[in-house]
Amino acid sequence: MRVEPARKLATYDELFALPSGTRAEILDGAIVTSPSSLPEHGRAQQGLARTVGSPFDEDDGRGGPGGWWILQEIDVRLGPHDIVRPDVCGWRRERLPSPWGQRPIEVVPDWICEVVSPSNESHDRVKKRRLYAGTSVAFYWIVDPAARTLEALRLVDGIWVDAGSFDDEDVARIPPFEAVELEVGRLFPPRP
């Protein structure tokens, strides 16, 4: 019988010690790095921060419903060996009264959106999808700039349920932000 030596699980200190600008997370105890994003990825992140962040975070009730913190690429601890850096994520303010000065944030987000890239599509669609369900993230959006689509999922009894699939021609009210209409096409670069 051969016994494999125990693998050393990565710590947040190791993640934090990586060179500035390194895109990295800890998943199942292993540090996972990814290349820098394509411009299309950044455009989708910016579009989400603007279209969701403005009425739900920045407006703080002035012209929008308010009540959320919407943040981009921050460290979130989902478990002892899972620290993610979602593209965009949000918390209802009653669950996280103040995110300021925390690294990593220890409260599971109410909503996470990942923008897929050719280099990480299965990572977001399979690994992170399972992780987010297992840690009770209530809503998960997957934005695909190449396909110009947005998939919305809602967690019900630990299972992801389809909350809608949208393309760049749709204007929709998408949970948990159904209080406002989202022009999905504004998340993507203009068509040539």
Alpha-carbon Rg for the chain in angstroms: 17
Give Cβ neighbours of residue 99 (< 8 Å, ≥ 6 apart). Answer: 69, 71, 74, 91, 105
Average pLDDT over residues 181-190: 93
**Percentage of the chain lying above the pLDDT 70 cut:** 94
Which CATH fold topology does 37-187 show?
A: tt1808, chain A (3.90.1570)
Count Cβ atoms within 10 A of the Cβ of residue 116 and give its class: 0-12 exposed, 13-18 middle, 19 or more buried.
buried
CA 36 – CA 176 distance, rounded (Å): 29
Report percent pLDDT > 90 for the chain.
64
Residue 3, pLDDT above cutoff 50:
no
d(CA 106, CA 138): 16
Give the model confidence (pLDDT) of 53-85 as tens digits: 888 887 665 667 889 999 999 999 999 899 999
**What pTM does this model have?**
0.92
Has residue 14 got a pLDDT over 70?
Answer: yes
